[in-house]
Amino acid sequence: MAAQVISGTEVARAIENDLRQQVSELRSKSPHFQPRLAIVQVGGREDSNVYIRMKLKAAENIGIVAEHIRLPRDCTQTELLTKLTYLNESPQVHGIIVQMPLDSEHQIDSHLITDAVFSHKDVDGLNTENEGRVSIGDFSGFVPCTPAGCVELIKRTGVTIAGKNAVVLGRSRIVGTPVAELLKWENATVTVCHSKTKNLSEITKTADILVVAIGRAEMVRGSWIKPGAIVIDCGINPIPDLTKKSKQRLVGDVAYEEAAKVASYITPVPGGVGPLTVAMLMRNTVLAARRQLERQLRP
Ligand code: NDP
């Protein structure tokens, strides 16, 4: 039987509708209150432009004021840090993200940049303090968006995560590692694989839940998947397609057609994890705004 498709687009819409309601309730109690997100971009990579447009649209739909701050390609690390200091100290700004990768003519240390954002405004959940919290199962900070989206999609299937074997392909700082941490705290038994892992397809076949974040177009074949598994595909890979106006199309890290014949649930690309990443950013921004409002109202 073919797998059920987990529509990230639909789940994201439901989350965004709920957030719109939350913002409207907050504003009915505190009319001058307006959640505000600063999106800082260095340079003008086209893929970053596309992602930023999606974030701006979602924010507008929810009632978050999102400010797109464009810095030129010749922006230095010091100039970027100065901008972040200003945003950190601005009481009107509740959430700050720096769109990665940085498109700069100069050497900029991206870890230094993500760590420069105050933890309570780090709605991407990428600074070391928030990462550390997630790794020890403390969710009082911010959980990174793509990993949170993966877990949300798994939960929406209704399948219990606790006790399942989860395999995560990829150990990057923004996807693989935090997904593995989150699944561990959801009480799955987690195996993390990477480019040095031997017998990858044997390990993936043990997975009740398989999360793939390697950036290799359609590498995971149907024969790698345990029948009935949940497959979450984070990959976004452009491949040539002469039938398209743009001469390319996007595919995931999983060979979708083959995998859908074996899995019980599967996320499509596009329309799977991508929209959830945006929805989770919006959720974190509303949470940041709510926390900062509560602090202001505290006697
Ligand atoms: P990275 O390149 O940072 O990390 C890739 C990881 O995959 C590394 O841990 C690497 O191993 C591992 N890997 C690479 N090749 C292989 C292989 N042949 N076998 C096993 N493991 C391998 O990528 P990201 O984590 O940033 O992104 C992964 C994918 O997810 C990309 O397609 C990206 O576009 C997409 N993405 C999607 C998002 C969304 O919103 N949907 C958000 C972020 C990313 P090692 O550590 O040994 O090098």
Q: What is the pairing mode between strands 189-193 and 209-212? A: unpaired
Does 244 reside within a domain?
yes
Check which CATH number belongs to the domain holding 201 and give it.
Answer: 3.40.50.720
For residue 16, pLDDT beyond 90 = yes
What's the mean pLDDT in 163-169?
Answer: 98
Does 104 reside within a domain?
yes
Q: How many CA atoms lie within 13 A of 184 on its CB side?
A: 15
Q: Both 266 and 156 in a single domain?
A: yes
What's residue 173's pLDDT?
Answer: 95
- 231 pLDDT tier (thresholds 50, 70, 90): very high
Q: Both 231 and 161 in a single domain?
A: yes
Does 283 reside within a domain?
no
Beta-carbon count within 10 A of 67 CB: 15
Told to judge if 99 belongs to the known catalytic residues of this protein, a careful annotator would answer yes
192 lines ligand 1 (CB under 6 A): no
pLDDT digits (tens, 9 = 90+) for 19-36: 999 999 999 999 998 999
For residue 218, pLDDT beyond 90 = yes
Q: Both 149 and 255 in a single domain?
A: yes
Q: Both 229 and 167 in a single domain?
A: yes
Query: Which atom belonging to ligand 1 lies closest to the Cα atom of 175?
Result: 25
Does 277 reside within a domain?
no
- Structure ipTM: 0.99
Q: Both 101 and 165 in a single domain?
A: no
For residue 298, pLDDT beyond 90 = no
- Å from CA of 176 to ligand 1 middle: 7
Q: Both 94 and 193 in a single domain?
A: no
Told to judge if 124 belongs to the known catalytic residues of this protein, a careful annotator would answer yes
For residue 296, pLDDT beyond 90 = no
Q: Both 98 and 190 in a single domain?
A: no
Domain hosting residue 113, numbered range: 31-118
Q: Both 76 and 177 in a single domain?
A: no
List the residue whose alpha carbon is closest to atom 19 of ligand 1.
Answer: 195
Structure tokens at 291: 């926390």
- Å from CA of 214 to ligand 1 middle: 3
Q: Both 268 and 150 in a single domain?
A: yes
Q: How many domains does the chain have?
A: 2
237 DSSP β-pair partners? 251
- As a whole number of angstroms, the distance between CA 117 and CA 95 comes to 9
Does 295 reside within a domain?
no
CB 37 within 8 A of CB 95: yes
pLDDT digits (tens, 9 = 90+) for 38-51: 999 999 999 999 99
- As a whole number of angstroms, the distance between CA 257 and CA 268 comes to 10
Q: What is the pairing mode between strands 237-240 and 248-251? A: antiparallel
Check which CATH number belongs to the domain holding 79 and give it.
Answer: 3.40.50.10860
CB 205 within 8 A of CB 213: no
Query: Which atom belonging to ligand 1 lies closest to the Cα atom of 196?
Result: 47
E-strand stretches of 146-258: 165-169, 189-193, 209-212, 230-233, 237-240, 248-251
Q: Both 161 and 242 in a single domain?
A: yes
Q: Both 91 and 155 in a single domain?
A: no
| Exposed e or buried b per residue across 23-36, where buried means at least 16 C-beta atoms within 10 angstroms of its C-beta | beebeeeeeebebb
**Of 48, 83, 118, which one is at a domain's C-terminal end?**
118
Does 42 reside within a domain?
yes
Q: Both 114 and 71 in a single domain?
A: yes
Does 74 reside within a domain?
yes
What's residue 297's pLDDT?
Answer: 83
- As a whole number of angstroms, the distance between CA 96 and CA 203 comes to 38
What's residue 299's pLDDT?
Answer: 81
Does 210 reside within a domain?
yes
